[in-house]
Chain A
Amino acid sequence: MVCAKISVPILQSSLSERRTKLKQSNLHGEFFLQGNVACAEAAVSAGCRFFGGYPITPASEIAERMAFRLPQVGGAFVQFEDEIGSMASILGASWAGVKSMTASSGPGISLMLENIGLGIMMEAPCVIVNVQRGSPSTGLPTSWGQSDMMQARFGSHGDYGVIALAPKSPQEYFDLTVKAFNFSEKYRLPVFVMSDAVVGHMTEKVVIPPVEELEIIDRKYTDKKPEDYHPYEIKKGDWVPDFAKAGDGYLYHSTGLTHDHRGYPDMSEKCHVQLVNRLIDKIKKNIDDISMVEERDLEGADVIVVSYGITSRTVVPGINLAKKKGIKVGYLRLITVWPFPEQKIRDLAKKVKGFVVPEINMGQVVIDVERCAGCVKTISVPHPGGGLHKPEDIARAIEEVAYAK
């Protein structure tokens, strides 16, 4: 193996220089890779140069891979004393102008929630990978679930917009991790990659393109002089403030308190209303850009199976069973789970008999499907975790909707 020379941190260099340096560091080609390793390689390719983490099954491989890879590309890996510290540290690294990431699972994510809120409020770009396991509490460390979906949406206290992506395979785990970095840089917030123990631990073919072929978005740095710069000033018609990193002489203040355009605490109702609305709107108003779905056979379908992540692979045999019985079944996979594609479901609801929503939880995303489906029948196919849906269960639910009076 040939180790790259330890490059200087890729911070102040121009885009072309950065690309060249990244080119040296990005592992590309065709591999037979474990999902979690693909995720770590995606982070390295996207330009992540700081990882703060804490061991937890089934996410530890990401930290192990980052511990091995980051020093080779001039980045830093720190194993913290807990997940709270890990989450706080990636916000700090983000403010130093470096793309940063952490990875954990249920119990660890629960500990991170307060600082995820800080990241939302400070608008610090970063990526949080949640390799979901069977829950609640310690649950099933070595087994899977999808039961943290609502936690990703509403976990930290307060109201805010959130982006969560759900990969179904190691290849997609790679692609979506790069995407997560892009969204986090573009909209300046912590972005979730919601994988699970199956996707994290399965090994499949992963094609990694050279870094110059990847679409990589970087946060928008301010072009203002320090004396004219306000950290939270929004241009008209824009949602996201321009960024300035620590150490560049902008001498700004950032806080988790409700703040005005200068970043100073402002306890007025007006300021709070404005800020909270913007944090929600910057995601809501850009849903067309953020939302990604995969559709199959939606034209003329009577029943649509809505699924995400690993479940979207296990539903296929069930759909095929129902199709053999002559039912017209459509397949809708949410690649972006949050923000939820409300309009899409509303439009489909006008044309179909109903929806079937299998998840490896007791019915979380189905709440939103029901909300948007209106009077149309929506059936949840829950599974508490530790196993996968059986094709018969899916087929039965499809029939129930198709033959409903």
Chain B
Amino acid sequence: MQNNEPKHPMEQYLRMDRMPHIWCSSCGLGSVVTAFMKGMKRAGIDLNKVVVVSGIGCTGRVAGYVKLDSYHTTHGRAIPFATGLKMANRDLTVAVISGDGDLFAIGGNHLIHAARRNLDLNVICVNNFIYGMTGGQNAPTTPLEAYSSTAPYGNYEHPFNLVGLAAAAGASYVARWTALHLQRIQDSVEVMANKKGFCFMEIVSPCSTVFARKNKGGTGLDLLQEYKQRAIIDHSANPTEIPLDMDGEMVCGVFVNEEKLTFWENVQKGISRKVKRHPLYVEDKKTQY
């Protein structure tokens, strides 16, 4: 970059030596990354202790662009990888940023179990309703009857409602925003960074290259306009009753924000309890642990 060119305001938090990034113009990911970094900055935690883990796909590339300790893992396995990081060093703030296919199709089981355990992780799912990087195939979020590369007659499957699933699985914090709610995303990132337990945020993001093209959505800008019109904010909504479809309202907000013991807190509690003697238990009078 030459000196006379305008600088990106977040330059010190991004890996500028990797620019230009691989995302399409009008993709929501660029603004999501910026909002994430701004939120983390606002959260007031030492950024050296923030770790980002991603899976595979368009959103999976986020890990490679943020100037943090970051890991680009295998498809669907970002959450267990992050679990290992967090459990081995409890001082880290671990964020998992990945796509809907990665987190809810191949990685769906890990997500619901991590939520059930109430592991101290911040999971951000960028939902574009489709598999972007591989060429627009059907995702677990693709609305019924929407077209995709593997649904030439329109999608036959009912989609997941991500916030409902996360809430039902036991997450401590559940929010949904669109890629236009940049301030709200920052607020949520800030809350999640400082909150214990399993925090989940869905960000509905436009995919102009495959989703819009296959579904006559026009350009990425048209898609953004459409999301802007469809999005409403209702914090009191029941997350299990607000699925997303092709043209209905997109109900956004913070639906769950509660306090309960995390996995590690339960471990700490457990250690003080009497140990259940195990048949394999070895004891030597001369040896003390």
**Interface, chain A (partner B; CB < 8 A):** 1-4, 6, 9, 11, 24-25, 27-31, 33-34, 37, 49-50, 52, 61, 64-65, 68, 71-72, 76, 78, 80-82, 84-86, 88-98, 100, 114-115, 117-118, 122, 245-257, 262, 264-265
Interface membership of B164, Cβ < 8 A: no
A2 in contact with B289 given A100-B88, A251-B67 (CB within 8 Å): yes
Interface membership of B74, Cβ < 8 A: yes
Q: Are B88 and A80 in contact (CB under 8 A)?
A: no
Q: Are A84 and B77 in contact (CB under 8 A)?
A: yes
Interface membership of B247, Cβ < 8 A: no
Q: Are A89 and B80 in contact (CB under 8 A)?
A: yes
Q: Are A247 and B51 in contact (CB under 8 A)?
A: yes
Q: Which residues of B contact A72 (CB under 8 A)?
A: 271, 289
Q: Are B80 and A92 in contact (CB under 8 A)?
A: yes
Q: Mark B80-100, 1 if CB is under 8 A from A, else 0.
A: 111111111111100000000
Q: Are A9 and B90 in contact (CB under 8 A)?
A: yes
A115 in contact with B88 given A81-B113, A264-B18 (CB within 8 Å): no
Interface membership of B195, Cβ < 8 A: no
Q: Lowest 6 CB-CB distances: which A-B pairs, in order?
A: A92-B84, A89-B84, A85-B80, A96-B88, A93-B84, A93-B88
Q: Are A255 and B88 in contact (CB under 8 A)?
A: no
Q: Are A97 and B64 in contact (CB under 8 A)?
A: no
Q: Are B88 and A37 in contact (CB under 8 A)?
A: no
Interface membership of B25, Cβ < 8 A: no
Q: Are A95 and B85 in contact (CB under 8 A)?
A: yes
Q: Are A115 and B74 in contact (CB under 8 A)?
A: yes
Q: Are A81 and B109 in contact (CB under 8 A)?
A: yes
**Interface, chain B (partner A; CB < 8 A):** 15, 17-18, 48-49, 51, 53, 63-64, 67-74, 76-77, 79-92, 109-110, 113, 263-264, 267, 270-271, 275, 278, 280-284, 286-289
Smallest CB gap from B276: residue in A: A68
Give, as a whole number of angstroms, the nearest-CB distance from A196 to chain B. 18
Q: Are B71 and A68 in contact (CB under 8 A)?
A: no
Task: Please indicate which of the listed interface residues B68, B88, B109, B110 has the most CB atoms of chain A within 10 Å of its own CB.
Answer: B88
The contact sample of 19 A-B pairs, CB cut-off 8 A, is A1-B289, A24-B289, A25-B289, A27-B284, A28-B287, A31-B282, A68-B281, A71-B271, A81-B113, A84-B77, A85-B77, A88-B73, A91-B81, A92-B53, A92-B85, A93-B87, A247-B91, A248-B48, A249-B48
Complex Cα distance A1/B288, Å?
7
Complex Cα distance A269/B87, Å?
37
Q: Are A254 and B71 in contact (CB under 8 A)?
A: yes
Q: Are A50 and B63 in contact (CB under 8 A)?
A: no
Q: Are B71 and A92 in contact (CB under 8 A)?
A: yes
Q: Are A255 and B90 in contact (CB under 8 A)?
A: no
Q: Are A264 and B109 in contact (CB under 8 A)?
A: no
Count how many pairs of residues, one from A and one from B, have CB atoms less than 8 Å apart in the complex.
Answer: 180
Q: Which residues of A contact B91 (CB under 8 A)?
A: 247
Task: Please indicate which of the listed interface residues B15, B63, B67, B85 has the most CB atoms of chain A within 10 Å of its own CB.
Answer: B85
Complex Cα distance A27/B270, Å?
22
Complex Cα distance A86/B79, Å?
11
A96 in contact with B72 given A247-B49, A247-B51 (CB within 8 Å): no
Complex Cα distance A251/B283, Å?
45
A255 in contact with B89 given A37-B282, A84-B77, A89-B84 (CB within 8 Å): no
Q: Are B278 and A256 in contact (CB under 8 A)?
A: no
Pick the residue among B73, B76, B77, B286 that contacts A29 (CB under 8 A).
B286
Q: Are A90 and B84 in contact (CB under 8 A)?
A: yes
Give, as a whole number of angstroms, the nearest-CB distance from B193 to chain A. 14
Smallest CB gap from B117: residue in A: A78
Give, as a whole number of angstroms, the nearest-CB distance from B263 to chain A. 8
A95 in contact with B71 given A76-B87, A264-B64 (CB within 8 Å): yes
Pick the residue among B51, B84, B89, B284 that contacts A88 (CB under 8 A).
B84
Smallest CB gap from B84: residue in A: A92
Give, as a whole number of angstroms, the nearest-CB distance from A379 to chain B. 40
Give, as a whole number of angstroms, the nearest-CB distance from B253 to chain A. 29
Q: Are A91 and B84 in contact (CB under 8 A)?
A: yes
Pick the residue among B92, B109, B264, B283 that contacts A246 (CB under 8 A).
B92
Q: Which residues of A contact B89 (CB under 8 A)?
A: 9, 11, 96-98, 245-247
Q: Are A247 and B87 in contact (CB under 8 A)?
A: no
Smallest CB gap from B22: residue in A: A265
Complex Cα distance A86/B84, Å?
9
Q: Are B71 and A88 in contact (CB under 8 A)?
A: no
Pick the residue among B88, B109, B271 that contacts A82 (CB under 8 A).
B109
Q: Are B288 and A2 in contact (CB under 8 A)?
A: yes
Q: Are B48 and A247 in contact (CB under 8 A)?
A: yes
Smallest CB gap from B272: residue in A: A6
Give, as a whole number of angstroms, the nearest-CB distance from B158 to chain A. 23
Q: Are B72 and A92 in contact (CB under 8 A)?
A: no
